[in-house]
Structure formats: structure tokens, C-alpha cells
Structure 1
Amino acid sequence: MSTRAKTRTLPVSGGGVIKRTVLPGGLRIVTEAMPGVRSASVGIWVGVGSRDETPSVAGTSHFLEHLLFKGTRNRSALDIAMTMDTIGGEFNAFTEKEHTCFYATVLDQQLPVAVDIIADVVLNATITAADVDIERTVVLEEIAMRDDDPSDLVHDEFAAALFGDVPLGRSILGSEDSINQLSRKQIHGYYSRRYRPSEMVVSVAGNIDHAEVVRLVRTAFTGRLFDGDAGAEPRPDRRLHKVPARPVNVIADDTEQANIVLGSMGLSRFDERRFVLSVLTTAIGGGMSSRLFQQIREQRGLAYSTYSFTSSYAGDGLFGLYAGCQPGKADEVVSIMKAVLQSVASGGLTADEIERGKGQLCGGMVLGLEDSGSRMTRIGKAELTYGDVLGLDDLLGSVNAVTLEQVNDLADDLAAQQTCLTVVGPFGEHDFDAAV
């Protein structure tokens, strides 16, 4: 295998220069130079998440996110914390359905330290039995905290009702039973199999030099770039789920507020209509002028928080409307949600609404890229997800190219699908029998 790295500068405008290098073994490095800042953000993105888990190891990807901070062959957990505090850095991680990310933001001159520590954490974790037992309790507390927050719980329960008992339908956190049953051997085996450089992306943004970043990453990954790993099996690129597993899902809970999600299957992240869906979602419930916000909050005062959302994965996706309201108003809110969905189908949205949606999306994209952390996240996730990074101007162009006809056609397609209703509150399943 050749030891030479392959580097190219991406044709990007509207921001700093983005460069991409692929090291031997398949490790990808993407950087965006931001000469006007004094910070640097670095992330190691691992292409493994809760979707990759079998039922016997449900919650392992997130469990690992905790465990990797507990110590490596070179540093204790206290060493890691003290070093990051000494340089004034922020160090954290998060787990999603299809990836996990470990990231830090530091002063630009401290980038070598940040790269070294994050790579050490990701590559050299010890995962001792004692640490597994300690963090097991912490993860169980996190599950309990989620269960005590119905506005979070309703989204997990919606995915479970929509997709069923499959990886996409299961919580990223796992369940109490799955976390209690996980052994150190299972977790370490999962880590050894899945945390391969060929499945990783290193993204760095800020006041940085690409060649220097590549040198730092090469050093940090010494001995790990020629593992000969062929990589994980590709995820399905076709829709696996056509109808909700449970059209009505009520979680009985003695809460002061009913938390409601009404939605359906969405789009795959590879669907060419993903920008159309973003505009549609924003127009329906993405701002104060949106249909959902006006109908539920402004005109009737039924909820403080209401919005639309979408999530896209390989082959599958979801689309939904959320609202939190007094339990006695739940039927009225569900009825309005259904009416909003019906009203936007078959040409229901106006040209003005589409233009406001596009303007809000474009503004959010630009304003959301004002710091090195957000730019590191954008380029890292794009590289991991699509194998390429679109420039800001290209993204804005894709949004602005969306037409009213495309939005209304997609709205019609979504409206034709069977809906899925999930409610967390003081109800029984029978209370919503006629809701969908």
C-alpha cells in the first residue's frame, strides 16, 4: 500500500479555503482555514452509531462515548481533564444514529495538544471493567433524566412507533435492560471492531494550516494507518420502512403538559429532494410566521413551543410536527396539526411562504457558521455522510433553486403517507383512537 497521502483543495467560495487529504488506510482529513479567528476546533468523526447495534448491544455506541473519556494507555481521566483545563479548551462528544463525534475547541496555538488528546482518547481507550461499572450508573441516570423530560421522551417514542423494533427505532441511549446487561467484553469488542481509521474523518477549522494539521494527525495515528481494514458494510440506500409500525403510540405519564408529535416517513439523506424538504419543513413550522406557529400559538394560544422537524438517514427518514400543550387541549392541537398538513398538500403553500422559508434557511446557514466549532461540524459531518463538502455558496444556491412546484409536490407526497401520532401525557391509548 502506498504511504503517500492524497490532497486536494475543494472548489469552495463564500468562506475560507477547504482542503481534503486521504491518508493511507483511508483516514480522511478535512480543514477549513479561518484566518480572522484565534481559535481552532478539531473533531474526530466515527462512522458508527446506534443504528449499527444489534439488540444485544443496544446503547453501546453512546456508552462508549462516556467510556473513552475514562482513560487511555497514556493518560488517566484526570490527566485528560487537567490538560484541557490548563490550555483553556472545551472537550466533549456526542452520539447520533449513524455517527459519533469527539471534539474540542482551543486557542489556535494549542491545536497540537488538542489533536494529540482527542486521537489518544479515540484510539487508545482502556475501557476497564471498573470504568464500565461506574459509567453504567451514569448512563442509567441519563436514561432516567430523558424519561423525566417528556419533550425529549416523545421524540424517542415517535421514532420507536414509526420504525418499530429496529435500530433506527431504538433510543440512542439504549434501555435500562440493555445497559444493565452489557459486559466489558461486549463493549470492548464493539470498540475494537468499529473504531477503525477507515471509518473516521478528522475535521479541523479555525486559524490553522492544512499541511500542519495533516502532520499532527499522521503523528497521532502512528501505527494505525495500515490496518488493512475493508470498512464496515454499507448501510442500506433504499427505504426499508413504508408505514408506521404503530400509528398511535400513547405513553401514559402524569405530566402537567401533553407532548405531541404527529408525523410520517421522511426522506433519505441521499434523496435529491432533501433541500426541498428543508424548505417545506421551515415553511410549515420553522419560524414565527410559519403555518404551525401561527395556527397553534399566535391565533389560539394553545402552546408555548411548536415546530416542525425532519431527520434523514441512509435509506430512511422521518418528518414531524411537535407541540406541548395543556392535556385538555390535546385533541384540538392534534386536529390543527392534521389540518396544517392537509392544507399544505396539493398546492397549499404560497410563493411568499416558500420565499420566507428559503430566507430563513439561508440566514440560519450563514449565521450558524460564525465560529470555528460550527464550521468544523459542517465539514466533518458532510465528509463522513456524503464523502464530499459543498461550499456555502453551493448550499445557498441549492436552497434558492427550490421552486414552489417542487415544494407542493413533496407536500402532496408526504400527505399521502400514513401518519404516526405519539403522545406523552395523562392519557390512555383509547383517547386517540380516532386521531389518525
Structure 2
Amino acid sequence: MTRKALRTARPALPAGRAVPRPRGAAPGTAAVPAAGEIRTTVLPGGLRVVSQSVPTVRSVTFGIWARVGSRDETPVLNGATHYLEHLLFKGTRRRSALEISAAVDAVGGEMNAFTAKEFTCYYARVLDDDLPLAIDVVCDMLTGSLIRAEDVDAERGVVLEEIAMTEDDPGDCVHDLYARTMLGDSPLGRPVLGTVETVTALTRDQVARFYRRHYDPAHLVVAAAGRLDHDRVVELVHRAFAEAGALDSGSAARPHGPRTGRRAIRTAGKVDVVRRRTEQAHVVLGTPGVSRHDDRRWALSVLNAALGGGMSSRLFQEVREKRGLAYSVYSFTSGYADCGLFGIYAGCRPALAPDVLKICRQELDRIAGEGLPEEELRRAVGQLSGSTVLGLEDTGSLMHRLGKSEICWGDQLTVDEMLNRIAAVTVDEVRRVAAEVLSHRPSLAVIGPLSERQAARLDEAVS
């Protein structure tokens, strides 16, 4: 299973009503050659079905998103969401684990899942003719999982190996360390996979209760993109859930809306160093960002593209091209329902880490004080706009956008609407968000073979 995997709620829709979404292109803008309209239907029990037809392809990606992630876990249950993701592939009342995988393999399809901090997704990509099969298999997994004690015990070893595999990748581990540095021992600060201790201690009853609590129809969103007919998808999903006894036709339950709230991250200037025998020092330098509901996220995304989003970005040019100090260096944003993170990652030889951090800190301070000039802003807008469109040119990416948008915002933006929001970002907006976000004293997470002296120099570089 893969792990890696960025508004306000609209009123709940009447059950069974299909709602077309407008294209929304602003006057005078060139419309992007697009797939068909996005349509949404709400079934009894609050189960949402959202789809987008792409008649020019021969594939369909079908997914079911659950509004549950690692932030919904207590400390004792840390890792339960991801553990459950594995277990739903282990067998249902109708299919064994082998029959689940064989059904999709037999038609040349792909099936997988991933767990994030605020949602989980199960999906299959198949030829359009095989969409009924994909719907039947994935819906069966979500509604009919047995979660047998013997499967829980057998899969425990697999999950522990996945944790070990992640621990062997310091470039991945340092992001978990950074989340803990910024968010502490909170649900958002804990690792999605859990720890060896928590996964070892999880019981079948704990995981089964977690499944029953979070996988009812009101917590789920069905998303599909490709060569499909929306009404047919709704019909097949309704049938699959009804036959499994997962839909109550008389239920007046409404879909659970997007997460909301306001969480302040007050961490400033904290340095966490994990000494490990690696060839490189892996560092993440960052500050609190903005939540995914914050309108400043558009300006911050443009700023992020200019700072470390491509080969022409400041960090790539200053750290790699001009000085040859690192192979990999980039910036990133992470937006959650109630808070966000902004960070810079670099991997370099340990002796070079203080110099790399000094350059990164200088660029943060420069943008915080000056913002971006118009030419750099336009280049960042173009880079972000192009990557947004190119990233949506397959049915899997389209399904991902549909499902995540419905789970996280309860609404959909068309591609043209997204491009309009990016293009509307101004120099002043970037200057303001840079001053607000980057003016914080940054915190630092480091994994590598650092001496006491090198660690002290890193501390000096961010102070």
C-alpha cells in the first residue's frame, strides 16, 4: 500500500439529486481542453458519489475516500487507520484476499490504497468496460471486510516491515520528525504508520471498532473519473452498498462536512537532531503555514513555487546550481483543516549542512522582507499553472482531485477556476503572506551523522 500521497462547506444536498458543476472560466480566459462536467449525487445515508467523464480515454479510476486519518487516532491507536487500510484487502464475506487481487489482475487493472493524516483512499484503475467489476470489488472491500483475528496477526508483520522500510529512508523519516517538531505529541504530529510499540499492541477488537466508527456511508465519498456515465456509476454503487446492507433507504443522514477549526502552531526556533549513520544529513527547515481553508494558500503556493518549486527556483539555483552543495533541495507546503506547515528540505554531506541552512535562511529572510518581483512572480504563476494542468492528465489524478476536494472542502473547483485563482495572485498578496509566514523564527529537524560541533553550528544557522 502506498503512503505518500494539498472553503467552506456547502449545504448538504438532497438525497438522490444529481448536481452539475459549472465550468467557471472567467471572461477573456482561454478554457483548458477539459473533461466533462463534474456531477455529484448524494445517496441515502449520506453517501456521496462524484464523477467526471473523460470520453477521450479508455480507462476509469474508481475510488472510495474515507473521512478518517491518523489525526483521528488516540495515542494508543496510533497507526490504526493505516493498519485498517491493509486489513480491508484481506478478505470479505464474498471474496478471499487472493480473489480480491485476482479479480483486478485478471483484467489488467491496478488496485491500491493510501492513508494520510486526514483521509484514506482505496482505488482501482481499469478499462472502461471493467468499471462494474472495479466498483463491485472496491465497494465489497469497504462494506464487507471480515477483519479476522488471524488476518490482524498476519498483517502485523507486514505493517512492521513497512515501518522498518520507512526508517531505512532518512529522507522520508525527516518529514515525520519535522511534523513532530512543529506539532508535538498531537495526532497531527504523530506518524501515519504508527510506531513499532503501538502497532505491536493493537488488537483485533480495537481495529474492528475503529472500522465500524469511521466507515459508515456519511463518512465516505465515492469518486470516479474516466470514460463513464455518472448515472450508471450511481446505480452500481447504490446496488453494491445496498446488497451489503450498508445503505438504509429510509435514512435521513447527511454527509459529514469538511473538518474545520483553528489550531495555532506556536513552535519557534526548536531544533530536533537525530544522529544516525547515514551518508547525508537530511534537514527540514520551516515555519507554521496556513490551513487549506485559508485564502492565503493561493499566494503561499505561488511563493513556494518561486522559492523551491522547480529548477529555476531560488533554492535550486543558489544551493545546487551556483554552489553544488546539494543534489536535492526544495520547499513545500502542507495544509490541514486547521493549520499548516511550510518547509524547506535539503540532503547534503554533513559538513555542508550549516552552509546549506545559512543560504536557506537568507532566502527566507529576503522573501519575508521583500516579497517577489513581478518577473519572478509571473514565472512562478506559469510554473504552478502548468504543473497543475499537466498533473491532471490521467484518470487517477482526476479521481484524486475529485475525492480530495469533496472530503476536504465539500466542493469542487474546475481546472479553469483553479488557474484563475493562481493567475489572480498579486505581488502585494505574496509580500503579505511572506511577511506573515516566513517572519517566524524557523524550526529545524535533522537526521544524519552529526558531531556535537556540527549540531551546534546548525543551531546557530537558524537562530
Q: Distance in 1 between matches of 2:263 and 2:42?
A: 31
Q: Given residue 106 of structure 1, which amino acid in structure 2 is its aligned partner?
A: V
CA separation of 1:24 and 1:270: change in aligned 2, threshold 3 A: same
TM-score, normalization: structure 1? 0.96
Q: Do 2:41 and 2:48's aligned partners in 1 also have CA atoms closer than 8 Å?
A: yes
1:202 is aligned to 2:216: no
Q: Distance in 2 between matches of 1:182 and 1:303?
A: 41
Match of 2:342 among 315, 319, 324: 319
Task: Give the equivalent residue in structure 2 for 1:433.
Answer: 459
TM-score, normalization: structure 2? 0.91
- Please give the per-residue CA displacement for 1:43-76, whole angstroms capped at 9, x wherever unaligned: 1000000010000100001111111000011100
CA separation of 1:278 and 1:286: change in aligned 2, threshold 3 A: same
Q: Secondary structure at the match of 2:444?
A: strand
1:278 is aligned to 2:289: no
Shift of 1:433: 3.2
Task: Give the equivalent residue in structure 2 for 1:224.
Answer: 246
Q: Secondary structure at the match of 1:69?
A: coil
CA separation of 1:357 and 1:376: change in aligned 2, threshold 3 A: same
Task: Give the equivalent residue in structure 2 for 1:24.
Answer: 44
Task: Give the equivalent residue in structure 1 for 2:124.
Answer: 104
1:212 is aligned to 2:232: yes
Q: Secondary structure at the match of 1:279?
A: helix
Q: Distance in 2 between matches of 1:230 and 1:60?
A: 26
Match of 1:381 among 393, 404, 408: 404
Q: Given residue 167 of structure 1, which amino acid in structure 2 is its aligned partner?
A: P
Task: Give the equivalent residue in structure 1 for 2:417.
Answer: 394
- Please give the per-residue CA displacement for 1:153-212, whole angstroms capped at 9, x wherever unaligned: 000000000000000100000011000010000000000111111011101111100110
1:345 is aligned to 2:368: yes
Task: Give the equivalent residue in structure 2 for 1:80.
Answer: 100
Q: Distance in 1 between matches of 2:184 and 2:15?
A: 46
Q: Distance in 1 between matches of 2:439 and 2:213?
A: 42
Task: Give the equivalent residue in structure 1 for 2:192.
Answer: 172
Q: Distance in 2 between matches of 1:47 and 1:77?
A: 24
Q: Given residue 95 of structure 2, which amino acid in structure 1 is its aligned partner?
A: R
Q: Distance in 1 between matches of 2:164 and 2:262?
A: 34
Q: Distance in 1 between matches of 2:263 and 2:138?
A: 35
CA separation of 1:236 and 1:9: change in aligned 2, threshold 3 A: closer
Q: Given residue 132 of structure 1, which amino acid in structure 2 is its aligned partner?
A: V
Identity of aligned residues (%): 50
- Please give the per-residue CA displacement for 1:341-361, whole angstroms capped at 9, x wherever unaligned: 011112242111111111011
Shift of 1:133: 1.1
Q: Given residue 340 of structure 2, which amino acid in structure 1 is its aligned partner?
A: G
Task: Give the equivalent residue in structure 1 for 2:8.
Answer: none
Task: Give the equivalent residue in structure 1 for 2:23.
Answer: 12
Shift of 1:6: 1.3
Q: Do 1:196 and 1:229's aligned partners in 2 also have CA atoms closer than 8 Å?
A: no
1:358 is aligned to 2:384: no
Shift of 1:417: 1.4
Q: Secondary structure at the match of 1:251?
A: strand
Task: Give the equivalent residue in structure 2 for 1:253.
Answer: 276
Match of 1:237 among 253, 261, 266: 261
Q: Distance in 2 between matches of 1:158 and 1:268?
A: 17
Q: Given residue 93 of structure 2, which amino acid in structure 1 is its aligned partner?
A: R
Shift of 1:239: 2.1
- Please give the per-residue CA displacement for 1:303-347, whole angstroms capped at 9, x wherever unaligned: 010000011001111000010001110110111110010111122
Q: Secondary structure at the match of 1:202?
A: strand
Q: Do 1:196 and 1:231's aligned partners in 2 also have CA atoms closer than 8 Å?
A: no
Q: Given residue 239 of structure 1, which amino acid in structure 2 is its aligned partner?
A: R
Q: Distance in 1 between matches of 2:397 and 2:110?
A: 14
Return 5+ residue gaps in structure 2 as ranges. Answer: 1-12, 25-31
Q: Given residue 256 of structure 1, which amino acid in structure 2 is its aligned partner?
A: E
1:135 is aligned to 2:155: yes
Shift of 1:299: 0.5
1:189 is aligned to 2:209: yes
Shift of 1:419: 1.1
Q: Distance in 2 between matches of 1:379 and 1:242?
A: 33
Shift of 1:108: 0.1
Q: Given residue 43 of structure 2, which amino acid in structure 1 is its aligned partner?
A: L
Q: Distance in 2 between matches of 1:253 and 1:228?
A: 55
Q: Distance in 1 between matches of 2:69 and 2:14?
A: 30
CA separation of 1:381 and 1:235: change in aligned 2, threshold 3 A: closer
Shift of 1:88: 1.1
- Give RMSD over aligned pairs: 1.7
Q: Secondary structure at the match of 1:296?
A: helix
Shift of 1:368: 1.1
Q: Distance in 2 between matches of 1:380 and 1:233?
A: 13
- Please give the per-residue CA displacement for 1:268-321, whole angstroms capped at 9, x wherever unaligned: 110011111110101100011111111100000000100000110011110000
Q: Distance in 2 between matches of 1:416 and 1:282?
A: 18
Q: Do 2:218 and 2:254's aligned partners in 1 also have CA atoms closer than 8 Å?
A: yes
CA separation of 1:99 and 1:302: change in aligned 2, threshold 3 A: same
Match of 1:115 among 135, 139, 156: 135
Q: Secondary structure at the match of 1:310?
A: strand
Q: Given residue 242 of structure 1, which amino acid in structure 2 is its aligned partner?
A: R
Number of residues of Structure 1 aligned to a counterpart in Structure 2:
434
Return 5+ residue gaps in structure 1 as ranges. Answer: none
Shift of 1:228: 6.3
Task: Give the equivalent residue in structure 2 for 1:267.
Answer: 290
